[in-house]
Each structure stands twice: as C-alpha cells, then as structure tokens.
Structure 1
Amino acid sequence: MPIENDPQQRDLSELPSTKASVAIVILAAGKSSRMGRGGKHKLLAEFDGIPLVRRSALTALGSDAASVIVVTGHRRREIEAALSELPVTLVDNPDYADGMASSLIAGVLSKRADGADGILVMLADMPGISTVHINALISTFRNAGGEAVVRAVSGGKPGNPVVLPHSLDHAVLRLKGDVGARDIITTSGLSVLDVDIGDAAHLDVDTPDDLLAAGGAMKS
C-alpha cells in the first residue's frame, strides 16, 4: 500500500483520481564500469534468452504508460540493436560519460516526454521490476491527482523506479554529474508516496556476481 511520508502536505485523499499521463524514461546509457575487464556490457546480458535492456523495455511497454523512452549512450548501436522493432523512442545522450544526470535530462527533454503529467524514471539494469510494479506506481500517481512524487521502496528503504510530476522538470534540468532524482525528491516540497514492491526496488546488477545471482548470463 502507498504511504504518504510527509504529513505536512495536504491530504491527498482530497485530490480526485485522474488519468494523468505518464511517460517512462529508461536510463540505458551507462558504461557498465563495474563489470570488470573485457568490455562486457550488463545491459546485453541475457535473462531467459532476452537481453536485459530489451527485457526492461518490454516490461515498460506492457504497462499503462503513455510512452516509453530509452536513453542510450555507451555502445549505443548494440543497445539499439537489442531494442529493434520495439515501439520505443530512442534518445542518444552523447554526454553520457558526464553521469546519470545528463541521461535523465535527455529523457525529460524528449518530445515524447513533453506534455506528460509525470515521468517514471526506470533504470535498465533492474531485472526484478515487473509491469505490475510499474502499474502500481502509475496508479498511485494518478490517485494523487498527478501532484505527488511516487517512489518504489522495500521495507521502507527508498529504491527505484520513481515517478516525478511535470512540475519538477525544471529541477531535473538543473542536475549535474552522476546523480539521479533523490535530491530533487527531498527538496521538492511535494508529498512523497512510497509503494512497497519488495526486493525488486533494490535489485540491480552492477557486477558480474550480481548478474549471475539474479539469473542472468553474460554475453558481450
């Protein structure tokens, strides 16, 4: 169940449920620098025979989101090939080496994100995230009238994905370096709703051991 963790904000139960539109921005531009020598890319690792980045995109496409945007950068051609024939919007971030903030900005500036009431920020390296999880976050955002931050948690500990209202776009555009939305959330002044999705909120695959433990197989 979603939990409002800022009692100073107005009662969200007073807000009407809306069909607020949500665009998903999948961040898939990083260098996989913790995968060790040999140039292996975690997003090309396979889970049940499907590259992780494609698996993440398929999960997003099965949700109630209005559109799915994938931000690429490192080994862009291979990532794009893994996403072939999927109805996603590809956004190249030539500044991906500057850190996560540049990729988040690239996604928010995408034409497919423009006009959306909220942006669901999704990391491409989280194999435990399901369409059910994403829909729970979107539903909570809509039930809050599209005016609250919604984030996935596990046992009360913040994780990912996160939904940011359109009103925070300007704050995203000011981000720099290898940072995500966490600082924005804590300083936004908006209500923050937590949706517990279990271990999936924290399960990413930064290292070869992480990937193997999650059931993946490194390919290239």
Structure 2
Amino acid sequence: MPRVAALMLGAGYSRRFGGDKRKALLGNGQSVLGRALENALAAFADVTLVLRGDDDPQALAIPNGVKVLFNPHSAQGMASSLVMGVEHLRQGDADAIAVLLADMPCIQPSTLQALVQHCGPAQIVLPSWQGQRGHPVLFGRHFWPQLLTLSGDLGGREVVRANADCVKVLAVEDAGVCLDLDQAADLAALNPLV
C-alpha cells in the first residue's frame, strides 16, 4: 500500500461566502472544517492542515492528530499554501500527497481510501463522480517539484494538465468529491450528505 500524506488547504478568506466558511455549521452540528478533517483522519495516518498566519487553531477546534502549518503569505493565493505544504511533507517518506480542500466536508473516507489504493510515486489520481472530475487530487512524489513552482490561485490543475499521460481518473459513487462550499447557499446542497 502506498504511503500517502494528506494535505488540507484551509487558508482561504471565504470572500464569496460572506463569513468564515470553515466555521459554518452543517446539519449535524459539525463545522465544515471539523467534518472535512474528521473524514481525512479516518483515511490517512498523516494529516497536515495549512491555515492563515493569523488563525487560531483553538477557535477552529482542530482535532488532535492534525499537524498545523501557518501560511503568512496566504493572501497570495492557494498555491502559496500548497507550496508550503509540499515543502513540509517532502521531508517525510510519503509516496504521494492527497491535496484536500477544507470546504469539501462530504467526501467519504471510503472514497479517500479507494484513491490511495490506486496511486503511486509516478501517478496522479483523482476521483470522478457522474463524469465530473473532483477532489482530492493525489500527486505522486515524482510531481512534487512541479507543485513547488506554482503561484497564484491555480492550485495543482496545471500539473495535472501537463502530465495527462500519468493521470488516473477513478469513477466513484460519492457526490461529495464534487461538492465544495463557495457561497452560503451551498450549505443546503451539502447537508443531505452529512
């Protein structure tokens, strides 16, 4: 089984949401971030969360077992958090990184585990639900140097595009891989799955 470290990006500013969406409550009373981390911890032994430089982990109720990195450059875009996380994780022995987003709390742990089974150091693996590509994206160690060159708000999409011949798309029966929380109205779509 490949060793996969989870890297959750949670340093965004929720501008379109109108408040800190990480603290928004789901129908079961859990916060969006809390549920996303719970799902990650159920599937990965190594979970790292990137927060903004001024975030208070206690106020966000970060569970035990999650390593927290503080990104002082989070205003520069998602890539700065991704680069920081990859820099940190490349010191370890993981074969791949699963890049998760903190505003996607409905991905089932069984889906995360299925993705892990299909990845390796020279592969990029991502889920697809009803033909729509989703998250997380698992990047084998071979692609980490390319991730370290990213900037702005692109995330890893450019690395996926540039290495299309190494990408494995896994069809899953999990709508959660395509449901993220951009606006407050999106909470209603998430709640039936929580």
The two structures share one fold, judged by TM-score above 0.5:
yes
Query: Are residues 1:62 and 2:42 paired?
Result: yes
Runs of 4+ deviating beyond 4 Å: none
In structure 2, what is the Cα distance between the partners aligned to 1:94 and 1:28?
13
- Find the counterpart in structure 2 of residue 117 from structure 1: 95
- Find the counterpart in structure 1 of residue 59 from structure 2: 81
Distance apart, 1:75 and its partner CA: 5.4
In structure 2, what is the Cα distance between the partners aligned to 1:111 and 1:201?
23
- Find the counterpart in structure 2 of residue 159 from structure 1: 134
In structure 2, what is the Cα distance between the partners aligned to 1:25 and 1:116?
12
The alignment-based identity, stated in percent, is: 33
Structure number with larger C-alpha Rg: 1
Provide structure 2 residue ranges, at least 5 long, that are not aligned to the other structure: none
Distance apart, 1:80 and its partner CA: 4.5
- Find the counterpart in structure 2 of residue 200 from structure 1: 176
TM-score normalised over the length of structure 1: 0.80
Structural RMSD (CA):
1.9
Q: Contact 2:39 / 2:105 at 8 angstroms: preserved in 1? A: no
After TM superposition, the structure 1 = structure 2 runs for residues 1-220 of structure 1, keeping only pairs within 5 Å, are 19-36=1-18, 40-47=19-26, 48-63=28-43, 65-73=44-52, 76-77=55-56, 79-111=57-89, 114-141=92-119, 145-188=120-163, 190-197=165-172, 198-215=174-191
Q: Contact 1:100 / 1:178 at 8 angstroms: preserved in 2? A: yes
In structure 2, what is the Cα distance between the partners aligned to 1:177 and 1:114?
26
Q: Contact 2:107 / 2:175 at 8 angstroms: preserved in 1? A: no
Distance apart, 1:115 and its partner CA: 2.4
TM-score normalised over the length of structure 2: 0.90
In structure 2, what is the Cα distance between the partners aligned to 1:209 and 1:75?
27
Distance apart, 1:170 and its partner CA: 0.7
**What are the Cα deviations for residues 112-131 of structure 1, in whole angstroms up to 9, with x where unaligned?**
76321100000011122111
Which residue identity does 1:98 align to in structure 2?
A: Q
In structure 1, what is the Cα distance between the partners aligned to 2:168 and 2:108?
19
Distance apart, 1:111 and its partner CA: 4.6
In structure 2, what is the Cα distance between the partners aligned to 1:182 and 1:193?
14
In structure 2, what is the Cα distance between the partners aligned to 1:152 and 1:113?
27
Provide structure 1 residue ranges, at least 5 long, that are not aligned to the other structure: 1-18
In structure 2, what is the Cα distance between the partners aligned to 1:113 and 1:52?
29
Distance apart, 1:154 and its partner CA: 1.7
In structure 2, what is the Cα distance between the partners aligned to 1:112 and 1:89?
14
Q: Which piece of structure 1 moves more, 173-182 or 105-114? A: 105-114
In structure 2, what is the Cα distance between the partners aligned to 1:112 and 1:81?
29
Q: Contact 2:2 / 2:117 at 8 angstroms: preserved in 1? A: no
**What are the Cα deviations for residues 119-144 of structure 1, in whole angstroms up to 9, with x where unaligned?**
00000111221111100110111xxx
In structure 1, what is the Cα distance between the partners aligned to 2:42 and 2:11?
22
Distance apart, 1:35 and its partner CA: 1.3
In structure 2, what is the Cα distance between the partners aligned to 1:213 and 1:74?
30
